[in-house]
Amino acid sequence: MWRWVLRRLLWAAFLAWGVASLIFLVINAIPGDPVVIILGEAGGPGHDDAAARELREQLGLDRPLPIRYARWLGGLLTGNLGRSLYTNVPVTRELAEKFPRTLYLVVPAVVLGILAGVPLGVFTATRSGTAWDGVTNALGLLGYSLPVYITGSLLAYLLGVRWRLLPVSGYVDPAVDPLGFARHGLLPILCLAGTVLPIAMRMTRTTMLDVLGEDYIRTARAKGLSPRNVIYRHGLRNALIPVIAVIGLQLGYMFGGTVLTELVFSWPGLSTYLFFGIFKRDYPVVQGVILVLSLIYILINLLIDLSYGLLDPRIRYS
C-alpha cells in the first residue's frame, strides 16, 4: 500500500507541475493589461507610454515570457508565489489570511450537509415509492436547483432582516471577537450546507437503492438480521463509496466556488480574492490561488482513493 501511496504522490507532484505551467500560460494569454488598469485606478494617465513603461519594468512584465516562467517556477520551489501587482504584499501572506476564512465556511457546511443528507438519503431509499419519498425528492431537487445567491438572499432576509437572529453580512476578526466571528459565519455556512445536502441525499438514495437489491443484502435478511443492522452495517457502508467520491469533489470545488456566497455575505475569503484578482488581472494572485486550489483537489482525490480500501474490504492497494 505504501508503494501505491508513493506512486500517487509522485504522480501528484508531476500533475502539480503541469497544472502550474498551464495556469501560467493561460493567465498570461488572457486579454487585458494590468499596467493600464493600475494606472487608471491610481488616477494616472493610462495612455501615458512613459508611465506605463516604467511601471511594467517595476512589475517585471517587460521580460520575455520564458524568463518570467522560469523565475515564477523557481519561486514556487522556495514557496514564493510572488507579490500582488496592486498591494505589493506577498501572495503567500494574503493566502494565509484568506484561506482559513474560506476553510471555516466550507468544512462545517460539508459536515452539516453530510450529517443531514446521508440519513435523509437512507430514509428515502428505504421508503421508495411512498409519499415520503416523493416529498423529500421534490425538496431535494428544489434545493439542488436553487442558485446560491437566491438561497443566500432568502436566508439573509429571514434570519437577518425579518427575525433579526443573525447578522446579515460582514466579517469580524476572530482574535478580536470570537463569538461575533462565529455569528457572522453562520449564514454563509447554512447557505453552503444547503448546496451539499441535496447532493448527499440524492446520491445516497440512488446508491442505497442499488445496494439493497444485491444478493448479500437478501442473504443478510434471510439470516434474520434486524432491518437496522442490514441497512446500516451491510448496506450503507458499501453505498457510501460513490457518495464519498462525489462529496469529496464537491469539497474541492467549494474552496474556489464560494464566490457568490462570499459576495452576498461580504465575507473576505479565498474565492472573492480570486474573483477580484481575475477582474484586475493580478497575475501572481490568480496563479497562486488556482495553484493552491489544484493542490487541494489532488490531495482530496488521494484521500478519496485511500478511503475506498477502508470502506470496502474487496478493494486493496498492492
Write the pLDDT tens digit of every residue in 117-174.
Answer: 999 999 999 998 899 989 998 988 898 888 998 999 999 999 999 999 999 999 999 9
Cα separation, 253 vs 305, whole angstroms: 17
Residue 197: the pLDDT is: 95
Q: Is residue 121 located within the same domain as residue 233? A: yes
Cα(224)–Cα(171) distance, rounded to whole angstroms? 55
Looking at the structure, do residues 208 and 65 belong to the same domain, yes or no? no
Are 263 and 226 contacting, i.e. CB atoms less than 8 angstroms apart? no
Which of 33, 48, 77 is the last residue before a domain boundary? 77
Its pTM stands at 0.87
pLDDT at 71 over 50: yes
The mean pLDDT value of the chain amounts to 88
Specify the 3-state DSSP secondary structure of 90.
strand
Structural domains in the chain (count)? 2
CATH number at residue 201: 1.10.3720.10
Length of the chain as a residue count: 318
Does 83 fall in a domain?
Answer: no
pLDDT digits (tens, 9 = 90+) for 176-232: 999 999 999 999 999 999 999 999 999 999 999 999 988 989 999 898 888 889 998
* Coil, helix or strand at residue 155: helix
- In sequence order, the 6+-apart residues with CB closer than 8 A to the CB of 111 are none
User: Looking at the predicted structure, is the pLDDT value of residue 7 above 50?
Assistant: yes
What's the gap between Cα 219 and its chain centre? 40
In this predicted model, what pLDDT tens digit does every residue of 240-288 receive, in sequence order? 888 988 998 888 888 888 999 999 999 999 999 999 998 888 889 999 9
The pLDDT value recorded for residue 43 is 53
pLDDT-based confidence at residue 42 (cuts at 50, 70, 90):
low
CA 95/CA 37 separation, integer angstroms: 23
Retrieve residue 68's grid coordinates. 518570467
Q: Using CB atoms within 10 Å of the CB of residue 237, give its burial: 0 to 12 exposed, 13 to 18 middle, 19+ buried.
A: middle
The residue from 77, 110, 126 where one domain ends is: 77
| Mean pLDDT value of segment 35-47 | 65
What's the pLDDT score for residue 12? 84
Domain ranges, residue 51: 2-77
| Residue 99 sits in the same domain as residue 73 | no
pLDDT over threshold 50, residue 46: no
Report the alpha-carbon distance of residue 66 to residue 26 in Å, rounded: 14
HEC profile of 125-140: HCCCCCHHHHHHHHHH
Q: Does position 98 have pLDDT exceeding 90, yes or no? A: yes
- What is the C-alpha to C-alpha distance for residues 227 and 317, in angstroms, rounded to an integer? 32
* Cβ neighbour number for residue 217 with a 10 Å cutoff: 17
More confident residue, 236 or 315: 236
